[in-house]
């Protein structure tokens, strides 16, 4: 057995990274709009005001997705486009854009996967405390209800949060991402709990408004890969350990409360004096049944921790490569959580440019994807319930604090002319899709 016959092959994007139209049709600023205004925050001094201008080019982009054979498309909704004040009045023009995008995808038989939160919090809510304000879970539920009420009849797959470890870790520990703060452990525990409760309220809303929909959460994860003298069981134990001060980066911190209804015991014991008050009702809400877990995997770690072997291959953005990262990420998550899994992001940044022949040649990306997908295939053949794979990204885009220099796309975007050029890897990926991975 290899990939299941209904395996979903797709690609992913995020609203702030591709849409542009930053203040059109009633959209308010997000924390990323404001973050980009601060000198020195973005490496190349850029912003997301235009990005790939997907807001105005979505029809040609979806047509290109269809030409490249994509079966699914994961995209995110911009909260400040839908509810500019963060709560209260719904901006129908903002919702209409996403409704039209959904219709366009369905016209080409491309399955939409909606991510409700991919980091672009309305700035007005940040001014009210952001994720430290317990009211934010109610605001997020209100926003979720507006989205699902609009196209819950057509969208049957939802992801509540994308990489909560990253938007809290990079945004509230290292300050390298929006909103650019540095929280202590007490504040992080409160913010993390508020995210968990917001997830629970969103799941409840989706179940109510679209009872036939599937819902999950996406985690950023760096799988521990058995190697040398370290066996799989030990790698697993290290992988899911959870202690302060690094608990925000622990997958068990995010998934255990959702799947098992409790926070990791080691962390609770270590932080008992500063852990936020957690009620039984909170945990019941947080641990409602989900249908899948999404894993975003770019790198991995060998069991010896943070020691980087000399000469480790690395990408344009400086991330190390690990051929078996997808394989072990799926195997470890299957063993611990027993839920269906989607690889919701995986890809590589390369030094891509338009060649003299008018094409974009990216052999390194093809090799990277081939290696990682062979690992994913091995996990599927080992019996793991992996349902789909979304390459990051459909096209080059704004790579957060790195600006526009890293290019992760299977489609090249000329940011000056907005011309789209499918790279060699896009046509290679089309063949993977056509053979359902049998050519790997």
Mention every residue, 6+ apart, whose C-beta is less than 8 A from residue 85.
28, 122, 124
State how far the alpha carbon of 87 is from the alpha carbons of 16, 80, 91, 135, 140, in Å.
19, 9, 11, 10, 8
What are residue 301's DSSP bridge partners?
224
Residue 296 is labelled as binding a ligand: no
State how far the alpha carbon of 46 is from the alpha carbons of 3, 35, 43, 172, in Å.
40, 11, 8, 21
Residue 162 is labelled as binding a ligand: yes
Residue 392 is labelled as binding a ligand: yes
Residue 400 is labelled as binding a ligand: yes
> Do 292 and 341 meet the contact criterion of CB atoms below 8 Å apart?
yes
State how far the alpha carbon of 343 is from the alpha carbons of 4, 195, 206, 415, 421, in Å.
14, 22, 22, 28, 25
Active centre residues (catalytic): 163, 345
Cis link prior to 393 (omega < 30° from 0)?
A: yes
Q: How many CA atoms lie within 13 A of 51 on its CB side?
A: 28
Residue 239 is labelled as binding a ligand: no
Residue 17 is labelled as binding a ligand: yes
Residue 288 is labelled as binding a ligand: no
The binding site for substrate consists of 17, 118, 162, 298, 392, 399-400
Cite the annotated binding site by residue number. 17, 118, 162, 298, 392, 399-400
């Amino acid at each position: 057995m290899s990939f299941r016959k209904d395996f979903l092959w797709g690609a992913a994007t995020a609203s702030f990274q591709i849409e542009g139209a930053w203040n059109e049709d009633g959209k308010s600023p997000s924390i990323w709009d404001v973050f980009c205004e601060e000198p020195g925050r973005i490496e190349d001094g850029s912003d997301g005001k235009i990005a790939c201008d997907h807001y105005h080019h979505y029809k040609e982009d979806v047509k290109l997705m269809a030409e490249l054979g994509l079966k699914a498309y994961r995209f995110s909704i911009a909260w400040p486009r839908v509810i500019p004040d963060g709560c209260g009045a719904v901006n129908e023009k903002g919702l209409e854009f996403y409704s039209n995008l959904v219709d366009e995808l369905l016209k080409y038989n491309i399955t939409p996967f909606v991510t409700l939160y991919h980091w672009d919090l309305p700035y007005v809510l940040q001014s009210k405390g952001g994720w430290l304000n317990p009211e934010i879970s109610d605001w997020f539920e209100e926003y979720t209800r507006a989205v699902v009420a609009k196209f819950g009849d057509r969208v049957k797959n939802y992801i509540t949060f994308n990489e909560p470890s990253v938007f809290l870790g990079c945004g509230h520990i290292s300050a390298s991402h929006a909103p650019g703060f540095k929280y202590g452990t007490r504040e992080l525990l409160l913010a993390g709990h508020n995210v968990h409760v917001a997830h629970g309220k969103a799941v409840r809303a989706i179940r109510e408004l679209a009872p036939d929909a599937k819902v999950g959460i996406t985690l950023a994860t760096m799988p521990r890969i058995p190697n040398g003298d370290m066996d799989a069981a030990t790698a697993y134990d290290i992988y899911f350990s959870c202690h302060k001060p690094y608990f925000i980066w622990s997958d068990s911190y995010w998934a255990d409360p959702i799947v098992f209804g409790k926070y990791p015991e080691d962390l609770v014991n270590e932080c008992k004096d500063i852990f936020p008050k957690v009620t039984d009702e909170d945990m019941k809400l947080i641990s409602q049944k989900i249908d899948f877990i999404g894993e975003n995997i770019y790198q991995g770690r060998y069991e010896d921790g943070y020691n980087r072997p000399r000469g480790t291959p690395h990408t344009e953005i400086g991330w190390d490569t690990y051929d078996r990262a997808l394989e072990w990420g799926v195997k470890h998550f299957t063993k611990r959580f027993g839920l269906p899994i989607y690889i919701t992001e995986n890809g590589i940044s390369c030094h891509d440019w338009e060649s003299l022949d008018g094409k974009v040649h990216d052999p390194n990306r093809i090799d990277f994807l081939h290696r990682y997908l062979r690992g994913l295939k091995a996990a599927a053949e080992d019996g793991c319930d992996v349902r789909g794979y979304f390459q990051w990204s459909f096209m080059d885009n704004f790579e957060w604090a790195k600006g526009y220099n890293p290019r992760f796309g299977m489609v090249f975007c000329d940011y000056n002319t907005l011309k789209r050029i499918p790279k060699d890897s896009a046509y290679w990926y089309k063949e993977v899709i056509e053979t359902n991975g049998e050519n790997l």
